[in-house]
């Protein structure tokens, strides 16, 4: 999608669709300039028709009408933002997604978007761009009708009209560019999640990581079964042994070119990558298995975020660690009652082969920890219990290092991805106690999401760590704003924002630690102040 800024009144701009976002109450006596201009050109019919149709600028409303030649645009759309008191960039992001879907439905190529007046114009622009790019996303690669519709008009051009009196700045352009990169990475992650499991298996996921790395200038190392055996990842190997598709160990590295920055402790990102989860011998019911191609959504988000992080060039290394495999039932599959030995040396009694993600993650987190990271963040579609607790749109966040958890939650809030902190309570630890090994991989049903987090914590050591259970938000069950049915790419925006936040903090601490500049000397022949 091509974005550009235009000057002058939005109502006078040319395009197939003019979009005017509005807060509740703005269709009354003192409408904002873009609506006033469009309504005047349409001889008052725009507001009258919208009112008759029940448009009140609520957050889920959109009203579209033809301009019958009275405006440069062929159609005008009024887009509801809801109450101004409840506004956040995510409100605009969701609304822009609805506008994008409307533009697709009416086969619009060129759109003019009147940017609403807010306190933070760059944040609004980024949200708007992300909403539009995410909103037009569709995964129809395997539909014959989509191939026939290949030449149908698509939204390719967006002209952004800033509020009256606001001039375009470099910061505005940077916000648009960042929004495009983040949305592009999110849609790329969505593709990986939505692909069928006979296409995205561990090998193909590793290839996708390598392709992304080549484009972004990142170092990508891929290992197979022999490398996993060399690293003594017994839990990872146990999960992988039931499938005919070989496991892959993926390591993606961003290293700053500045030698001093390259010595900073790295940030470690870990993504769960079960490319298909049948449940193993503890077989899932059919209905629960249908969407288990999405059990690698954590790794997709981590890889998508790495593609953007490479362009941000933070002053510290960032590493992504991924163990990719399938969890399948077969004559070689691991069994309930097996005891597996992890890379850390801890032994684990298997009580449920469908609690496999934590096994792979345990070995991968141990491996990541050996790189002495400043912090570890893992993303995993880990537990149905977290979906029961928080639903389909809220990520469960776990961790006992308060500053790191706080920074991740703040990054999520800024990025518009909702997260809720859940406890990692030692009170639940008895649920993982084993009679024959150091611990069990699954305990009682109650507190299932906490139990899984406690299991992972056993492999973290003293490193600041945040576990994000994305089991609910990784897939959307319906269309909602910029979301369509299927993979969401959740986590990409938060990870990018976390790296940006960490960059600001590090640069601020470096600036405060820098020695003070020496006092300026008086000019020759002059006199210094006493």
Task: Enter the tokens of residue 82.
Answer: 């809801």
Residue 174: HSE in the Cβ half-sphere, 13 Å Cα cutoff: 6
Neighbours of 388 (CB within 10 A): 12
| Contact (Cβ atoms closer than 8 angstroms) between residue 455 and residue 441 | yes
- Own/partner pairs for 115-120, CB < 8 Å, 24+ apart? 115/160, 115/161, 115/162, 115/163, 116/21, 116/22, 116/23, 116/32, 116/81, 116/92, 116/163, 117/32, 117/163, 117/166, 118/87, 118/92, 120/89
State how far the Cα of 209 lies from the Cα of 205, in Å rounded to an integer.
6
State how far the Cα of 303 lies from the Cα of 297, in Å rounded to an integer.
10
Residue 406: HSE in the Cβ half-sphere, 13 Å Cα cutoff: 3
Specify the 3-state DSSP secondary structure of 320. Answer: strand
| Contact (Cβ atoms closer than 8 angstroms) between residue 317 and residue 375 | no
Q: What is the pairing mode between strands 486-487 and 475-476?
A: antiparallel
Task: Enter the tokens of residue 527.
Answer: 């006199």
Residue 358 annotated as catalytic? yes
How far is Cα of residue 229 from the mean position of the Cα atoms in its chain? 32
List phi, psi (to 5°) of 405. -60, -45
| Contact (Cβ atoms closer than 8 angstroms) between residue 183 and residue 93 | no
Q: Would you say how long the chain is, in residues? A: 530
State how far the Cα of 115 lies from the Cα of 166, in Å rounded to an integer.
10
State how far the Cα of 113 lies from the Cα of 18, in Å rounded to an integer.
6
Catalytic entry in 284, 346, 480, 485: 284
Catalytic entry in 181, 272, 293, 358: 358
> Scanning the structure block, which residue is given the tokens 């792979």?
360
Task: Enter the tokens of residue 390.
Answer: 């928080």
What DSSP string describes 73-86?
SSEEEEEE---GGG
| Contact (Cβ atoms closer than 8 angstroms) between residue 77 and residue 46 | no
H helices of 393-458, where?
402-415, 448-457
State how far the Cα of 498 lies from the Cα of 408, in Å rounded to an integer.
6
Specify the 3-state DSSP secondary structure of 64. Answer: strand
State how far the Cα of 229 lies from the Cα of 241, in Å rounded to an integer.
12
State how far the Cα of 462 lies from the Cα of 347, in Å rounded to an integer.
20
**Which residues are catalytically annotated?**
284, 358
């Amino acid at each position: 999608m091509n974005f550009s800024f235009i000057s002058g009144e939005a109502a006078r701009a040319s395009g197939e669709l003019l979009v005017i976002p509005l807060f509740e109450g703005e269709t009354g006596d003192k409408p904002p300039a873009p609506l006033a201009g469009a309504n005047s050109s349409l001889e008052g019919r725009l507001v009258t028709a919208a009112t008759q149709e029940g448009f009140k600028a609520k957050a889920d409303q959109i009203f579209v009408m033809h301009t019958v030649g009275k405006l440069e645009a062929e159609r005008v759309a009024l887009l509801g933002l809801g109450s101004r008191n409840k506004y956040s960039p995510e409100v605009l992001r969701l609304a822009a997604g609805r506008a994008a879907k409307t533009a697709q439905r009416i086969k619009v190529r060129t759109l003019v978007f009147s940017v609403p007046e807010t306190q933070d114009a760059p944040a609004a622009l980024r949200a708007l761009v992300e909403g539009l790019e995410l909103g037009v996303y569709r995964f129809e690669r395997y539909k014959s009708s989509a191939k026939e519709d290949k030449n149908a008009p698509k939204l390719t051009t967006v002209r952004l009209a800033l509020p009256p009196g606001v001039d375009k700045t470099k910061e505005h352009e940077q916000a648009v560019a960042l929004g495009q990169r983040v949305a592009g990475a999110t849609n790329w992650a969505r593709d990986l999640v939505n692909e069928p499991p006979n296409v995205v298996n561990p090998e193909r996921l590793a290839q996708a990581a390598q392709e992304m790395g080549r484009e972004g200038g990142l170092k990508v190392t891929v290992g197979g079964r022999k490398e996993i055996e060399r690293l003594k990842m017994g839990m990872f190997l146990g999960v992988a042994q039931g499938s005919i598709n070989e496991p892959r160990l993926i390591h993606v590295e961003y290293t700053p070119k500045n030698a001093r920055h390259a010595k900073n402790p790295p940030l470690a990102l870990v993504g769960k990558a079960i490319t298909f989860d049948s449940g193993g011998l503890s077989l899932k019911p059919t209905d629960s298995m249908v969407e288990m191609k999405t059990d690698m959504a954590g790794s997709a988000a981590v890889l998508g975020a790495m593609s953007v992080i490479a362009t941000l060039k933070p002053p510290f290394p960032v590493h992504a660690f991924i163990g990719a495999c399938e969890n399948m039932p077969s004559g070689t599959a691991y069994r309930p009652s097996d005891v597996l030995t992890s890379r850390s040396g801890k032994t684990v009694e298997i009580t449920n082969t469908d609690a496999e993600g934590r096994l792979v993650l345990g070995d991968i987190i141990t491996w990541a920890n050996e790189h002495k990271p400043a912090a570890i963040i893992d993303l995993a579609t880990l537990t149905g219990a977290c979906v029961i607790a928080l639903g389909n749109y809220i990520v469960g966040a776990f961790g006992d290092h308060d500053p790191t958890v706080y920074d991740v939650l703040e990054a999520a809030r800024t990025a518009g991805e909702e997260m809720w902190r859940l406890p990692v309570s030692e009170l639940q630890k008895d649920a993982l106690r084993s009679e024959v090994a150091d611990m069990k991989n699954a305990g009682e049903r109650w507190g299932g999401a906490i139990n899984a987090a406690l299991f992972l914590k056993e492999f973290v050591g003293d490193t600041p760590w945040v576990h994000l259970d994305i089991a609910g938000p990784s897939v959307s069950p319906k269309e909602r704003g910029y979301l369509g049915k299927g993979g969401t790419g959740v986590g990409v925006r938060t990870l990018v924002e976390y790296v940006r936040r960490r960059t600001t903090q590090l640069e601020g601490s470096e600036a405060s630690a820098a020695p003070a500049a020496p006092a300026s000397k008086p000019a020759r022949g002059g006199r210094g102040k006493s």
